[in-house]
Chains A and B, each alone.
Chain A
Amino acid sequence: MKNFKYVNSVLGAILFLFGIWCFVKSGEYVPLIEMEGQVGANVFPELFSGALMFLAALMVILDVKNFTKPTFVSFESFGIVAVISVLCFVFWYCIPKAGFLFSACIFTCVLTFLATRKIRPLDLVSVVVVTGLIYFVFATLLKVPLPHGFFI
């Protein structure tokens, strides 16, 4: 999607559909007991979804009519972002299974490698030491109960 002109229109359409979904969902939150002066739990979500739909529609119209400057987006280097994002979620998944310290050491080493695409032993040692230090500060000194798994 390099330099696609109508990015804002596409985004507006997606946001509009999301607004509709939120609006429909909000309709389910009507309280069972009515009280004088009470504004139902559905009112604010409906109001905000309505506002989102209005703004999204406005975004599309203004973009199609060329009233706003178009947004140009390049995803040339998106590959690395996708890999890092997936890694983050894998790390999150592994924390309770392998333990925080072990997962964190692997996670930071992989991230360091991905930054340069070279194995630099000194960098890897540095991140492992820093990871251990951070773990010690939080888990031991500040008593944050970081999850233990199969390893620490």
Chain B
Amino acid sequence: MGSAFLLLDGFKDVLTWNGLLSVFVGSAFGITIGALPGLNASMGVALLLPLTYGMAPLPAVVMLLSIYCGAIYGGSITAILLRTPGTTAAACTVFDGYEMAQNGEPGRALSMAATASFIGGIFSVIVLVFLSPPLARMALMFGPAEYFALCFFGLSIITSLSTDNMIKGLVSAVAGLLLGTVGIDIVTGVSRFTFDMPELLNGVSFIPVLIGLFAVSQVLVTYEKGTDDLGGAKQKISGVTISWKDLRDCSGTIARSSVIGTIVGILPGAGATMASFISYNEARRWSKHPELYGKGFIEGIAAPESANNAATGGAMVPLLSLGIPGSETTAVLIGAFMIQGLRPGPLLFRENPQLIYGLFAGMVLANIAFFVLGMLGSKLFAQVTKIPNRILLPVILLFASIGSFAESNSLTDVFLMYFFGVVGYFMRKFEFPVAPLVLALVLGPMAESNLRRALIISAGNWSTFATRPISAVLLLIGFLTLIMPFVRMVKDRKKAVAA
């Protein structure tokens, strides 16, 4: 109860003109940053950080938190409208969001993205308010073995992402895993597949690959189909917003994904991208219509969007409770705290509870702000699909180029983006799914480094993965997820033979 009263006090502190202005300016800026490919939440927070030097601590940090929440939601806008995920966390939203937009329902897709993000975000703030200290302690129980098991669980989704053609899906995933080995090996310092190119020492950047595979390949396919009489959308725009029925149908998916997103977000280093992939797979597994996923199914937007925004609140748990930044953005946020003379951690809860609960209230308002802006803007954003392709396609390529360049100010990334655009085009032509490659590229390097760290810690004892309970459970679930589609295939074949 104490926490609830303190939260009410926090609302009193934030509900001032200054506080509300910080929330709305931060959210609008965050949405814009998130929607621009290549710019992410951490860049947005870093960009506005100098503006907060002269501000009071509460509105300053609340503004940066609003950017964080807004940016994670904003990534879905371009993912849905242009097949170009604004942030990596929105990669999963492309699968169904773009299809819905092309089927004449961009408004419905955008509204669902805003609503699911809002619910996921609010859920994670509630968890943050009431459960952050014990959850932060639980996150510390995650060692390399548990992280490897979590990555393995994440990678096990590959088989269900490849049900149309299992072999090609697995080839795509293996290609992603191989791509993830490029660069300096962090355990031994050996350069792998770098061909003496210094640009490859840090590995293949994820953003250019993502933009190339999704956006550039789509542009090439659209040019091939012919563009003179086509607009962005195949059909007339209908369904400007979601209905209560949509919300009711997706309520289970949103609830499940919010829990997954919050838990994954709490784990340092895991993050919103992993949360969205895991929740997408779980949503598909639990759905009554798994066959509709990837074809413009609204649950396919609800799942990743609620999870990636739930991860924002989750990521704040170790930051505020233990002073440990679990992600790039929270690392920038810790800098903002320090500029204001604050040191996140258990002492901050004791010494400055008013500020902490003010921040919690600020996060609630930030979620409300991006929801309001997102819902109001969805009708406007949806008009993007009406822009004729002869204008839209060059602009997408331009955005893609700047987005790839902006991540690390490197023209090599722009080259990589176009290269993977061509690769993505051929993958689509030859019916290789792109999603497994993207997933493997995100999780592969993390899985490899944690497996090797775990083995070094255990002096080469492989049983460490089975004897640690969290690791064992995650590995078991991952293994079951991996073989389930094969079991289903065999069952279906037996049924067909019997019939």
User: How far is it, in angstroms, between the C-alpha of A111 and the C-alpha of B406 when the chains are bound?
Assistant: 22
- The answer to whether B167 and A59 touch across the interface, beta carbons within 8 angstroms, is yes
Interface of B is mostly: helix
B438 to chain A, nearest CB (A): 16
A38-B187, A109-B394 known, 10 other contacts, Cβ within 8 Å: A8-B430, A25-B193, A29-B191, A33-B188, A44-B181, A48-B181, A52-B174, A84-B219, A88-B216, A114-B223
The residues of B that contact A45 with a CB separation of less than 8 Å are 178, 181, 192-193
- The answer to whether A131 and B171 touch across the interface, beta carbons within 8 angstroms, is no
- The answer to whether B394 and A107 touch across the interface, beta carbons within 8 angstroms, is yes
Kindly identify which residue among A41, A116, A120, A137 contacts B187, using a CB–CB cutoff of 8 Å: A41
- The answer to whether B430 and A73 touch across the interface, beta carbons within 8 angstroms, is yes
- The answer to whether A22 and B178 touch across the interface, beta carbons within 8 angstroms, is yes
- The answer to whether B414 and A108 touch across the interface, beta carbons within 8 angstroms, is no
The residues of A that contact B402 with a CB separation of less than 8 Å are 134, 138, 144, 146
**B residues near A, CB below 8 A?**
33, 36, 39, 47, 165, 167-168, 170-171, 174-175, 177-178, 181, 185, 187-193, 216, 219-220, 223-228, 389-391, 393-395, 397-399, 401-402, 405-406, 409, 411, 414-415, 418, 421-422, 425, 429-431, 448, 451-452, 455-461
Kindly count the residue-residue contacts between A and B in the assembled complex, taking CB atoms under 8 Å apart: 178
User: How far is it, in angstroms, between the C-alpha of A107 and the C-alpha of B181 when the chains are bound?
Assistant: 34
Kindly identify which residue among B193, B389, B459 contacts A36, using a CB–CB cutoff of 8 Å: B459
Which residue of chain B lies nearest to A115 when distances are taken between CB atoms in the complex? B390
Residues 13 to 40 of chain A near chain B (Cβ within 8 Å): 15, 22, 25-26, 29-31, 33, 35-40
Kindly identify which residue among B174, B397, B415 contacts A48, using a CB–CB cutoff of 8 Å: B174
User: How far is it, in angstroms, between the C-alpha of A33 and the C-alpha of B415 when the chains are bound?
Assistant: 35
Q: Any chain B CB within 8 A of the CB of A140? A: no
A-B pairs with the 9 shortest C-beta distances?
A37-B460, A115-B390, A108-B394, A31-B188, A111-B394, A41-B185, A41-B190, A115-B227, A88-B418
User: How far is it, in angstroms, between the C-alpha of A42 and the C-alpha of B191 when the chains are bound?
Assistant: 10
User: How far is it, in angstroms, between the C-alpha of A81 and the C-alpha of B428 when the chains are bound?
Assistant: 13
User: How far is it, in angstroms, between the C-alpha of A134 and the C-alpha of B409 when the chains are bound?
Assistant: 16
Which residue of chain A lies nearest to B440 when distances are taken between CB atoms in the complex? A48
- The answer to whether A55 and B170 touch across the interface, beta carbons within 8 angstroms, is yes
Given A31-B190, A123-B391, verify A96-B411 contact (CB < 8 Å). yes
